[in-house]
Structure formats: structure tokens, C-alpha cells
Chains A and B, each alone.
Chain A
Amino acid sequence: MGNKIGVYVCHCGTNIAGKVDCEHVAKYAGGLRDVVVARDYQFMCSDPGQDMIIRDIRDYGLNRVVVASCSPRLHEKTFQKACQRGGLNPYLMQHCCIREHCSWVTADRGEATAKARRIVEASVNRVGRHRELFTRDVDVLPDVMVVGAGIAGIQAALDIARSGHRVHLVEQGPSIGGHMAQFDKTFPTLDCAACISTPKMVAVAQEPNINLLTWSEVVDVSGFVGNYTVTVLRKARYVNEDVCTGCGTCLEKCPTKVLSDFEEKLAFRKAIYRNSPQAVPNTPVIDAAHCKMITKGKCGICQKVCPTGAIDYNAVERREVYHVGSVVLATGYDTMDPTVMSEYGFGRFEEVYTALQFERLNNAVGPTGGRILMKNGQPPESVAIIHCVGSRDKNYHEYCSRTCCMYALKYDHLIKDKVGHHARVYNFYIDMRCFGKGYEEFYRRVQEEGVTFIRGRPAEVVREDGHLVVVGEDTLLGMRVRVPVDMVVLCTAMEPRRNAQDVARVFGVSQGQDGFFLEEHPKLGPVSTATDGVFLAGSCQGPKDIPDAVSHASGGAAQALALAARGHVSISPTTSYIDPEVCIGCKVCIGLCPYSAIEFDERRKVSVINEAMCKGCGSCAGYCPSGAAQIKHFRESQVFDEIDGLLGMHAPEGPCGESAESSANVQAGEPA
């Protein structure tokens, strides 16, 4: 049977038709070989548009379909499904893009139309070579892994666990809670962070469906959607979690003091420590680099005082393997170290703090017991809060960190509240971005509390006569300002975690320009990634405040659950195939395959693909010296014909081919 091709050119309103003469392109396509019907239509992705394809498949006996509209990354599946509904194998359809790669980026209408014609012709050429392909269904393992146990990871884990699915929650730190555990109050409600996060942390510990793996890291991931094998490194804690009661005697007796990262280096912790009294789990961990018993073999006090004998200096790390259907990444963010911006004096002047340090100054279990105090033990009489430190700055991070305006306002309020209303607070800002529910109202409230707002990024912080002076310009007044203050708080940028690149590599996700993990689509796919079965939650995808992180996490959980609950997933059939008649048995492909999906059949002396493991990357096909290895749907003949079409190798005579059906265009609202 010969090919009967239907071509559909979408106007996409004026998105395509504004630059491409769609009617002309459809007419041209109508004159191409094997094309029996060619139409242009306002919106191909609409129901009437899809119905048009389905009806034509029946009426004209179409066995190939070409849709020219937006990017196949957006709507290829839509039209594949439409073909399927019309009784046509979805792989006998070719979707080509005349919007993102043509109408939207071409200045001239004539040129855009000519380019669209070529693109359509290439697809018509190519689709003639398409073959029926069938997706395979594979089972999805019911368990889910969540990586990172900040507020996003916690939320995702709880959502999944409460549906009845088992969750392995991996956290690299000794306890869960992430950055939120360091905060005191949250904007704009001034809820106490611990009051709202501790119940969730405890719920995680008590949830029987959650397997909590703290002090652990994912070191290897293999497999594919629905069937991931994850190797988790359980670092040596030196404290037996099953025996320890969390009494804390060891912490009191340990003689070694180390600057605490959790306290942002404002206080000391012991060599055996936990982040805070509310830590979940409350089992301490021994910092092997500083423990005198482990480094020098002298001390051993914690072991002596431990009432349950939980201390084990000889503990070793171990690897555990988990089989999960999907993964939710919630690895969070780091705050920028402002030392590099030496003009602000962080690290040089002791009363210059980062935002996270200031959070600790406010925290009831922090180094000052929740009082805002300077190093000399006195409360500051005046504080400068510098916004956008490292954010919205071409030299550091171009993006806005989204949370700083609001936490700066929170600090304004807290200073007025805790130090007293006589305390002067100066905000140096570029723009105020109070975009959330109740945020603008909070801004107004803080303004009414008598806080000073100065528009303009300060030039530097200097020290004169023992006082800090912020030097800058008030760009609204057009005047230079010099503001003497006791304390400076730097609203530091949120940036990708230091190890984001390693995590990205292990899980096979991409990073965007900023280094945050790249979502599948910035608008419509903000939780999924290009790797099926790996989802994102929270600030590992980009700066987020708590409500955004929590809702993003619930979104990630829902996606993972959708997979787990359905129990099976369709795998693309566009894998490799090695023609045994052509294969010369050179084995080149075997060494090239990154997934070990090719084996050698000793009896027939040919290479054989294991389709369950093949992901269709084409490493074998591109190198096969005999042409035996081919990627289905990207076969040599298909690519060759596409190239011919793009280059106009078989273009019919004349500027626009005519055929009986080519005038069968339909206008909006009256499909033929």
C-alpha cells in the first residue's frame, strides 16, 4: 500500500500565521509526493483540530500524518494520541515546529514562510519512512526516594507516606529540618518556625512508612523510570541510633569545642553534637575530624559517660541499596558567603552579619538565647539591612533570590520588637518585591513602625572611629548618604548547593544557567525533569520561600505518587535495533553503550540489544561501521530523507505545487 499523507498546518492564532503564510504552506504541502490532504487551521491542538485529523484518517484512509505547529516538546504527545484515537499508530505521525524555530524567530514574513515550507517538506519526506512502533509497559516499583530533608523534602515524604507508599528519606546532615530549622520567625505571619516545623519533623520520625536515613548520601543511581536502584552511603555516626536515648550526657562532658555550622559560626559545639535540642532524630553524631579519641586515640569520655553504651568509635560507613520507582530531589540551597564582596566588610568587621547569622541571633536556642546582641553584649541602637547582596548583581548572581525583601522586613520588625522602638533600622534596597499573600500588607505595617527605606545599593561599609558607616546613594533623593550604624545585616543570595553538580550527575538531571536543577518546562513542568521519574521539590529548582517550597514539594509528591499508584509506565519504543543480517560482529557498539545494553551472541556472532536497558541514545548506531545498528524512529533512511526535505532536494517545480486536495483548506469554525 502506498503512503497517504495528511498535512496539517497550524496558525496558532497569530503566533504562526502572523509571520507564516499558513495557507500557502498547506497548499505547497498538498503538492508534495504522497500527500492526499493538506489543511491549515487556526488551532490544531484544539478539539476540532484533533477531530479533523481523526476524521481525515477515516475519510481519506490516511496512513501518515504531519502536523506543523509548535515544538514537539510541547504537543507531540497530543497529536500522537489523536492519531491513536483515529486508529493510526502514533509513530506514523511527524510533528514539526514552525513556531518556536520559525515564526517566532524570523523577522521577515517571506523568509519565515519559505523556512516553514522546508520544515514541512522535510517532515513529509521523513514520515514516509516511518514504521509502526509499540510502547512497552513496565512495572513501577511502589517505593519512592526523597533526597534532602528540609521543609520541602519533609513535606514530599509525608505526602507520599500518607498515601500508603513507602518512602526512603535521605538526609546528608545529622538531623532533618534544613535551613528552616535555623530560623526563628517566618514572614509575614511571624509564626515561630520551630512551632510549625517541629510537628512535621516529629511526624516524619513517627511515620511508619518513612525510612529516615540521616547522615547519609546517595552515591549511585542506576536503572530507569519505575525501576531505579539507588545506593546510599550511610556515613559512620559513631553513635548507635538503636541504643541511644538522646539523653545528651555525652554532649555535656565532651571536652572539644568546634565552631558550629548550624549556628553559622556564631557559637561552639562539641565534637559529639546535635544541631539543636529539638533535632530529629536526636541521636548525636561524632565529628570524626575533631574527636580526640578517633584522631589521637586519647579521650573516650563520651563512651565512659554514656549510660546505654551507644558510642562505638570503630563504626564504619556502609552502603545500602534501595529499589524505588521514582525519586524526588529536595536538596535545597546554600546562602552565599559574602566574604568575596569585600566592600561590605563581612569577615573584617565583627558587627557585619549574614542573614542566616541574624536568624540565629533571633532564635531562642541560638547563641544569644534569642536576644539581638552585638559581640560586646549590648543591643544595637541602629542597624543597616543591605538587600540584594549577591543577588541581582551581574558579578555574582543575576537572578533575584525572592526571599530577601521579605526576611529583611521581618528583621525590621524583630529589631523594633526586641530592641525597642527607639532602635533605628535602615533598609538599603533596590526594589521592594512583596509579591505573596499578605506580603504587601506586612511591608506597610513595617513602614508604619518607623523603619527607614533608602533606595540604592550601598557602595561600601567602612569603619570610622569605631563605628560602622554605610556609604551609598539615595537614588530617590539623588544624594550621597553616610549612615553610621552599630550593626549591618547582609541579605545574602540564595545559591545552588555546593554539591549540586555532583547531585545532578548522579541523578542525570540538568542544571540551568544559574546552577539550580532544570525543570522540564519553566511554566507547565516545574516539578518534573528531563529524566523520567525524577522530580524536583523546593529550592533546588530555584529560590523559594517556605509556602512556595511546600507547595512545590506537594507537587513533586503528587507526580511521584501518580507513577507509583498506577503501577506501570509506558517506555518509549525508540530504542536501538541491530540487524543480525548486517552485523559483522565487530563488537564496537558493546564498548560504546553507556548502559551495557548490548551483548554478544556467541552462537550467531552478532551483537544483540537488550531493549529493556537501551535508552535510545544512538551511541551504537552513530558508530556502527556496517550500519547494522539503527535507532528506531531515527533510522538512517528517515534522517536522510529529512535532510533532503530541509535542503529542498526533491522540491516540486514552481513556487507552489497544486493538487486537487490542496484547496481543501478549512477556515476557523467550519471544519470540513
Chain B
Amino acid sequence: MSRKGISDKVAVIGMGCTRFAEHWDKSVDDLLVDAAYEAFADAGIEPADIEAAWLGTMISGYAGITLSGPLKTQFIPVTRVENMCATGSEAFRNACYAVASGAYDIVLAIGVEKLKDSGFSGLNSPKPPNDGTAPNFSAPASFSFLAPAYFEKYGLSAEQGREVLSRIAWKNHYNGSLNPKAQYRNEVPMEKISNSPMVAAPLGIMDCSGVADGAAAAIIVRTEDAHKYRKDPMYVKALSIAAGPGDGRLRQDFDFTSIKENVVSSQAAYREAGIKDPRKEISMAEVHDCFTPTELVIYEDLGFSERGQGWKDVLNGVFELGGELPVNPDGGLKSFGHPIGASGLRMLYEMYLQFQGRAGKRQLDNPKIGLTHNLGGTPMQCVSFVSIVGKELS
């Protein structure tokens, strides 16, 4: 696969992010306005400076007018994008490409989702009319397939497996406890995670990311213009998305311990950004920890851990805040919840804060290269997104 990419051609000069929470008192419009205006202020621009916008949302609106209405933008193009859980990242990717093409000088990428208005537990997405023969299992169920398959393949007992998964959740809750914008800001004892009520066995409720409302936004310009706005922009090194053929449902060689979309998207991003050894070269990562076994598999798919060794790296603290490669320093989906359209941009927001030294109690020591990752869909059929962003130009 050959592609040129847009490494170092565009930069982020302003970002905004609402707190992720059960926003009973805020509408989709409110969340969009709050995130966008925080980004405008951060970039030091006026709303009227934006030349085009990309809105990511899965179920909280449709068409560009979902954004242009509340923001009262004046007839600029607004594109609504959707790519399941990679929706926010996809909005960002399209906005970056538009700037890199030279079509626009300054654009807005924004993602929003309001999940708590549905009245249902967990995530529910509308389906097109169909024959109704596919089993109607839940999102945690589709990811929980990973756990028994991984334990079986690498010879982990149920107890060992449980400890590994709990430690992932524990780590993300600890990180989230240091983050004022997280939905959940408490540390959670490992034992409580291990003994939480079953949602999709072997996953308990504490293996699942929360359900939240939220919005996040980014202002993007070409790299050569970035310093007109700020001295410390974030540079985009690689953007990659892989949509899978869904063969996990069809082929026996898909063994539920690796998701090829993750492998393909990360390898493409590493090539684009010139990364040879991700574990050494990447300072921090925000990955799609929708459920604890997802994060475990991601470590191996993204090359942070050798195959079959991810669980040992977890137990050795490799991905903790003080570890070799901190993963989900902001608390991840686990602490933030997962308002679909907003999550990808929320991850980039953490990278941005960390590069600028604005991450407060969870600030890492001078991170240079960051990675964000989303997985939209199920392990059997998904889209996987990987970005590489940096503090400096290469």
C-alpha cells in the first residue's frame, strides 16, 4: 500500500472539550457551542474566521445544519461525517485533508454525542430495515468474545485473565481521577472492578466504558500558518483509517485475539510518520478502551507489546502513567464515557494538552510523539483509526 499522507502539513492551533458527563441540563446544541467556543478562544480567533467545518456525530443529528444552526455560521460548508466510534477522528481527518489540499486556510473539526437522552442502557444505534436474523447482542457482548479467546490462546487461567482486565480498568480510572474533564474522577479499587456485576460475561460493568454526553473541537490550519496563531501548535504526522471486510464473522482464521483493522491502520500510520519502533518512539497513546479486553488486544495490534505478551506488560505496569509507554493518560473511555462523535477529538485534546504542558496532575515528562486510536464497530467487523501527532516538526 503506497500513500503519501500529509505528515507535518497541518497543525492544530486551538482545541476545546466539554466535560464528559450525564449532561441532563445540556442539549446537543449547548455541547457544540461550548466546545467550539472554547476552541475559538484557545486559538485566539473569531467564529467568523472559520471557512469550513466537519461535524462528527453518529446518532445525535444529521447534516451540516446540526452544527450551523446552533453556531449560526454564515453559509460556510459544513459536512457531517459518521464512522461509528471513529466518527470524531474521521471528522478531524477530513478537515485536515481539506486544509492540506489548500482548499481552506482555517477549519473546524468538531464531534458531539448525546447518549443519555435515549433512556436506554448502553449504546443503541438505529439499524436500517433488515431481515432481523442477526442476533441482537449488545456492544459489550461483541467485545467480550475477545477475553475467553485470548485467555485460551495464551493459557491464562480465568483468575489471571481477570487480574489483567481489572488492572487495565484500574489504571484508566486512576488516570481519570486526575482529570477535571473526566466523567468519573474517582480511583476504583481493583477488587471492586473484579467483582462488579456481569454485563457480558466474563465482562462486568467495570470492564465497560461509561455512557456520557460530550463534545470536543479542534481548529486546524496549514503548518506554515500555525505560528501566526500560537507558539506551541500540535502537528499532524499521520492519519490512517482502515475499514475491514467483516471477515471475522465468516472466516475461521479470525481468532479473536487480534483485530486486523488495528494492525493495518497503525502500520500505515507508522509508515506515514516514519516510526520504526512504536514502543520506544511514541511518548503516549490514547486508545479505544471501550472494554478492557479491547485495550489488551490493542497493545499487541499496535505493536506496543509482542504477541501474547500484552497481558504481562499490563501486570508490569508498562502502560501506567509512570510506565514506559503511558496509555490513556487522560483516563480513556473508561473514565470519560464514550459519546461516540466526540471521543476521537477528546483523545487529540489530551495529546494537545500534554504537548503544551497543560495536563495538570497527570502531566507526562516532555512527551514528543503521541498516538490516538479508535475502533468503530465490533471486533468482527470494524473501522480502525490511528493518528500520530507531535510537539515538533520532523
Q: A and B: real partners?
A: no
List the interface of chain B (C-beta within 8 A of A).
Answer: none
